[in-house]
Amino acid sequence: MAKNNAKQDLKPISNPKISNSVEDYLKAIWMTAQDGAASTNALAEQLNIAAPSVSAMLSKLQNLEFVVYERYKGASLTESGKAKALELLRRHRLIETFLFESFDYSWDEVHDEAEQLEHAVSSQFIERLATFLDHPTHDPHGDPIPCPNGNLPDTPNTALAEAESGQSFVVARLLSQAADVLSYFAKLGIQPGKELKIIEFEPLGGLVHLLIDDVPRALSKELAMIVRGDIVKTPTV
């Protein structure tokens, strides 16, 4: 009877399934620091975990060779840590896409569910899911879905706030995780693929007037920073 009795080596030989916690930390480090180093407090904040716990975990991640960590100086991902983080991100975004497209989830619902599922699902599941969804490159709010090899598909990144009066703008991405923000955009009809016409910017730039589906609307500067996409040179008629 094969009992789970393996003593943890310092350097893990094979692929002993990474714990949910470790996965969460790697994702958090990537989101906080991408390439640079993530501070203990920033991670504690992100993960809603007390700073001393984060400290301890960073040492552990260092032993696992997922991060390079120097006391008092934060942690940055190694190649292997980064690969794991991107794998998680791939899972998360594919699952979000699936829930949104096939199961009619709303923005409020999609994130938490994906957060759980991404830890439970096998690589096989993810690849079959990708096939099921016809290998999307971006999730429903336009975030790029990392490829199996870790490449991040290109994504237009000009802020709507940077466009100018008279220009047209094609939305590619809504740079927010907040459900209320995403719902608000959805209500306005602002979603990836949509073309907006900019009427004018309010003096001092706090507001932008635009045409969505030929309906005049106004958007605050803050929200206009979240909307990312491309300025259209030759506006479609």
Binding span for a copy of itself by CB under 8 A among 57-65, 115-123, 136-144, 168-176: 115-123
Orientation angle between helical segments 40-47 and 51-63, nearest 10 degrees: 110
Q: Which residue bears the tokens 């479609």?
A: 236
- Rounded to the nearest whole angstrom, what is the least distance from the CB of residue 75 to DNA in the complex? 8
Of the pair 37, 232, the CB lying nearest DNA is at 37
Listed residue (86, 224, 221, 80) closest to 160, CA to CA: 224
- Give SS3 for 195: strand
Q: Is the distance from CB of 80 to CB of 66 less than 8 angstroms?
A: yes
When asked if residue 4 is in the footprint of DNA (CB under 7 A), the reply is: yes
Q: Pick from 42, 160, 172, 188: which binds DNA (CB under 7 A)?
A: 42
Of the pair 124, 234, the CB lying nearest a copy of itself is at 124
Binders of DNA among residues 189 to 228 (CB under 7 A) are: none
> Residue 215: beta bridge partners?
212
Q: Pick from 34, 41, 80, 116: which binds a copy of itself (CB under 8 A)?
A: 116
Amino acid identity for residue 229 in this structure: G
When asked if residue 21 is in the footprint of DNA (CB under 7 A), the reply is: yes
Binding span for a copy of itself by CB under 8 A among 61-69, 73-81, 106-114, 155-163: 106-114
Q: Which does 13 bind (CB under 5 to 8 A by kind): DNA, a copy of itself, none?
A: none
When asked if residue 116 is in the footprint of DNA (CB under 7 A), the reply is: no
Listed residue (187, 204, 194, 198) closest to 224, CA to CA: 198
Where in the chain does DSSP place strands (E)? 67-69, 75-77, 158-159, 168-174, 195-201, 207-212, 215-220, 227-232
CA distance 33 to 201: 33
Q: Which does 56 bind (CB under 5 to 8 A by kind): a copy of itself, DNA, none?
A: DNA
When asked if residue 225 is in the footprint of a copy of itself (CB under 8 A), the reply is: no
Determine which helix (DSSP H) or strand (DSSP E) holds 32, and give its type and residue range: helix 20-33
Q: Pick from 31, 37, 129, 207: which binds a copy of itself (CB under 8 A)?
A: 129
- Rounded to the nearest whole angstrom, what is the least distance from the CB of residue 56 to DNA in the complex? 6
When asked if residue 50 is in the footprint of a copy of itself (CB under 8 A), the reply is: yes
Q: Which does 113 bind (CB under 5 to 8 A by kind): a copy of itself, DNA, none?
A: a copy of itself
Listed residue (42, 44, 86, 38) closest to 62, CA to CA: 38
Q: Which residue bears the tokens 């016809």?
A: 134
Please report, as ranges, the residues that interact with a copy of itself according to CB under 8 A: 1-3, 48, 50, 99, 102-105, 109, 112-113, 116-117, 119-122, 124-125, 128-129, 132
